[in-house]
């Protein structure tokens, strides 16, 4: 196992087992924890998530994790990867709830709303392409249009164009990943995206 202190934040909502297995496959040991002391010493942090925005924020606040997340992201500049709901939690707010997000990036989360006669079904589920908008180490060795696995009913809108890392089209052309300094969010599930996800995780763990 490669020697890095990789912490996956456990706040009771997330596809954690699949991420642990993916990292193990790549030769990296990870720690799953909600302990502030352990999180504060991480070399890399992953914030997973599946479920409702407000429920997730309530769990994070019950565990008093907001401060250590902010300190890790903004003061220690720890490389920080949010996945699916984890990406949305990094934003300011979400139409899925009323509670404030973590505000790690200036962005909001909107609900997919389509006309009744549309053939598009929500949630957006399955494989889709990403269109890379700017150069980033996280996408090294990936094709211009790589495919990832998505499951979500809400999507991110960044206030600053420069933060947008990739876009994906599903009724609207939305932000499927963002990056600002050490903060990265991906709407898709790299842990379910086969070789594309393997490359992304490998880049995050080895190039940041």
Q: Active-site residues: which are they?
A: 84, 189, 191
Residue environment code for 110-145, b if the CB has 16+ CB neighbours within 10 A, otherwise e: eebeeeeeeeeeeebeeebebebbeebebbeebeee
Among residues 81, 67, 91, the alpha carbon closest in space to that of 160 is found at: 91
* Contact between residue 166 and residue 176 where contact means Cβ atoms under 8 Å apart: yes
Angle at which helices 194-207 and 16-25 cross, to 10°: 70
């Amino acid at each position: 196992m490669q020697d890095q202190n990789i912490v996956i934040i456990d706040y009771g909502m997330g596809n954690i087992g699949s991420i642990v297995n993916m990292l193990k496959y790549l030769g990296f040991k990870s720690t799953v924890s909600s302990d502030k002391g352990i999180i504060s010493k991480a070399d890399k942090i992953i914030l997973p998530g599946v479920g409702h925005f407000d429920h997730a924020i309530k769990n994070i606040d019950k565990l008093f994790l907001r401060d250590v997340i902010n300190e890790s992201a903004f003061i220690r500049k720890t490389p920080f990867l949010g996945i699916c709901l984890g990406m949305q939690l990094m934003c300011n707010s979400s139409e899925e709830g009323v509670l404030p997000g973590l505000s790690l990036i200036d962005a909001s989360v909107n609900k997919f709303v389509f006309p009744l006669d549309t053939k598009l079904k929500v949630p957006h589920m399955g494989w889709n392409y990403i269109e890379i908008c700017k150069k980033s180490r996280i996408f090294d060795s990936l094709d211009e249009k790589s495919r990832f696995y998505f499951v979500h009913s809400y999507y991110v809108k960044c206030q600053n164009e420069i933060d947008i890392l990739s876009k994906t089209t599903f009724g609207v052309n939305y932000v499927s990943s963002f990056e600002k300094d050490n903060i990265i969010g991906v709407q898709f599930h790299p842990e379910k995206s086969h070789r594309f996800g393997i490359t992304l995780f490998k880049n995050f763990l080895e190039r940041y």
